[in-house]
Amino acid sequence: MPPWAPVAPSRSTTRKSTAPNTSKWQSSKMNADARRKFRAAARSLGWDPRDVAAKLTAPVRALAHWMRPLDAHAKDEVKKMFVPLSSLISLFMVVCGPLWFPTVHGVFSSAFFCVILFVNYSHLVKFSLSLVQMRKTLLKWAENPRAAVPFTHTHAIFVPNYNEPLDLLRDTIARFAAHPFARSNYALVLAMEAAERDHAAKADALAREFRGKFKHFIISVHPCGLPGECRGKGANIAWATQVADRALMAAGEDARRVLLTITDADGALADLYFAELEREMQQNIDATATAPDGTQYRMFSPPIFFARNAQAVPALVRATDAAWTVAMMQNLSSSRGLHFPCSTYTLTLPLARHVGGWDTSADAIGEDLHMFLKCFYRSRGIARGTPIWCPVNLANVQADSYKQTLFDRYTQARRHFAGSADSLFALRHTFYPGSMDLPAPLPGIATAR
C-alpha cells in the first residue's frame, strides 16, 4: 500500500453505509438558499438578477479567458502579482479616487472603514477569549499536573531543521525527552536536509544521545533536487512524514492512533500540550468536526509566544513578533473551527493520508496555513481546527549583529509574504470547487451532519 493511500476499513468494525450523502445535499441546499436570497435582494433594488450576476462575474471570466493560453510558469507569475498589484491599486485609489469618482470613493471608503472597525473589534474580543481560555487551562494544570486521561496515541513529533546549531536541537529534543510519556508514546522524527554539509554527523550525534529516551527515534534526510519541489519546511515535512509513516507501520503502530505534531527546531512544547491532545481525542470528539467520527477530521494548534530570546533581539523584531502573536491568538477563538495554525500544529495520520500529504510547490511555501486549507477543502469542509490552550514558546530570529538580525527578520517576513498565494488557493477552491479532485471520504465516515 502506498504510504499516503487511504486507510482500508476493517471488515470487523466497519459497515458499509447506505445513508445518502448529506454533505453534498447540505452544500447544494446552502447554495440554493444563497441564490434565492441574491435574486430577492436584486429584485428589491429593481435590478435584473441575471444582469447583476453577469456583471459581477465578468472580470473573473475575462481573467480566466486571458490566462487560458498561458503555460504553467506564466500562470504562476501572474498569481505572484495578485497581492502586490491589489495593494498598489488600493494606494493609487486613495490619491486618485476623490478626484475621478468622489461619490463612489466616499461610499467605498466609509464601508471599508466600518468593516475594518468591526473586524478589529471582533479580533479584540476573540483575543480576550483566547487569553481567558489559556489562563484557565494553565491554572488547572498548575493545580494538578497529572494527565486527565491516559495516553492512548503515538505522538510523532517532527523537528525539521536546516543549518540549525547542534545545541539548539539538543535543547529542543531534551525538552521532549523530559516529558513523562516520552518513552512510551513519543516518536521523535529528526527531519534533516541533505543540502546541509554535516547533517549526517549531527543526526548521528543526536541519535546516540536520545534514541533510548523515546518510543521511536526516526531520522529522515530530505534529498535535493526533487522535480517540481520548492525547498523549505513544507518540502522537508512532506518527505519526513512519508518516512515516518513507513517506519511506524513497520513497527506495528495503528494508523488511527498516530498523531503528527509539526513544530520548529526551536519549538518548546510542554507535556500539557500532548495531555490536552489526548483529552480532546478521547473526551471532546465532536467539538468542531462535523462528522460522526470527528477524531480523524481534526487539526489542532496552540497559541504561540516568542520568549526564548526576546530580550536579546532588537525592539523592532520583538514588537513585530508580538503583533504576530496577537494575530495568531485571536484567530484560535473562531467559533466555526476555521482558525489557521502557525508554526506548530497537530493532525491525525489518516487525515494526512486522506489529503495526499503536504504540497511542495511554490504555492505551498506557507505549509501550516496551506495544509489547513488543503484538509478543509479536500474533506469537503468537514475538517476543522481545534485550539489547544497550551502556548508554545518560540525564539525570535537572531543573528550575530544588530543589523544582521533586522535583515534576517526582513527575510523571514518576505518568506511569510509568499504565503499570500494561499489567498488564491482559497478563492479558487471556494468559487470553483469543480477544479478539485476530491478523494473519497475517510473510512468509517459516511455522512456529514
Domain hosting residue 347, numbered range: 125-435
- Say yes or no to pLDDT of 192 above 90: yes
Please report whether residue 83 resides in a domain. no
Residue predicted with more confidence, 328 or 95 = 328
- Partner residues linked to 159 by β-bridges: 190
Task: Give, as one character, the DSSP assignment of residue 355.
Answer: T
Spell out where 95-150 has E strands.
none
SS3 state at 144: coil
**CA–CA separation, 267 vs 233, rounded Å?**
14
Please report whether residue 91 resides in a domain. no
SS3 state at 356: coil
Mean pLDDT of 332-350: 89
**CA–CA separation, 370 vs 422, rounded Å?**
6
Mean pLDDT of 236-247: 96
DSSP H helical ranges for 144-232? 166-177, 182-185, 199-210
**CA–CA separation, 50 vs 2, rounded Å?**
48
Please report whether residue 412 resides in a domain. yes
Residues in contact with 46: Cβ distance below 8 Å, sequence separation at least 6, in sequence order:
none
- Say yes or no to pLDDT of 443 above 60: no
**CA–CA separation, 429 vs 422, rounded Å?**
10
Residue predicted with more confidence, 42 or 113 = 113
pLDDT at residue 172 in the model: 93
Report whether 167 contacts 297 (CB < 8 A).
Answer: no
Please report whether residue 37 resides in a domain. no
> Which has the closest alpha carbon to 345: 370, 377, 381, 320?
370
**Percentage of residues in the chain having pLDDT higher than 90:** 40
Instruction: Give 360-407 pLDDT, tens digit per residue.
Output: 887 788 889 999 999 998 888 888 899 999 999 888 888 889 999 999
Positive or negative, the CA dihedral 179, 183, 185, 191 is positive
pLDDT at residue 447 in the model: 36
**What is the total count of domains within the chain?**
1
Please report whether residue 277 resides in a domain. yes
Please report whether residue 56 resides in a domain. no
> Which has the closest alpha carbon to 381: 28, 145, 61, 69?
28
pLDDT grade, residue 288 (50/70/90)? very low
pLDDT grade, residue 91 (50/70/90)? confident
pLDDT at residue 95 in the model: 80
- Say yes or no to pLDDT of 201 above 90: yes
Mean pLDDT of 181-202: 95
Please report whether residue 373 resides in a domain. yes
Please report whether residue 61 resides in a domain. no
- Partner residues linked to 65 by β-bridges: none
326 burial via Cβ count (<10 Å: 0-12, 13-18, 19+) = middle
Q: Helices H, strands E: what count in the chain? A: 15, 9
- Say yes or no to pLDDT of 144 above 50: yes
- Say yes or no to pLDDT of 225 above 80: yes
SS3 state at 177: helix
Mean pLDDT of 179-198: 95
**CA–CA separation, 425 vs 414, rounded Å?**
19
CATH number at residue 338: 3.90.550.10
**CA–CA separation, 309 vs 88, rounded Å?**
36
Q: In this structure, what C-alpha cell is assigned to residue 48?
A: 435584473
> Which has the closest alpha carbon to 352: 377, 369, 383, 375?
375
**CA–CA separation, 253 vs 176, rounded Å?**
20
pLDDT at residue 261 in the model: 97
> In which residue are the cell numbers 490566462 written?
67
**CA–CA separation, 308 vs 392, rounded Å?**
10
Residue type, 384: R
Mean pLDDT check: name the lowest of 192-196, 270-274, 298-302, 339-343. 339-343
Residue predicted with more confidence, 187 or 44 = 187
pLDDT grade, residue 189 (50/70/90)? very high
**CA–CA separation, 6 vs 12, rounded Å?**
18
pLDDT at residue 193 in the model: 96
pLDDT at residue 206 in the model: 96
- Say yes or no to pLDDT of 23 above 50: no
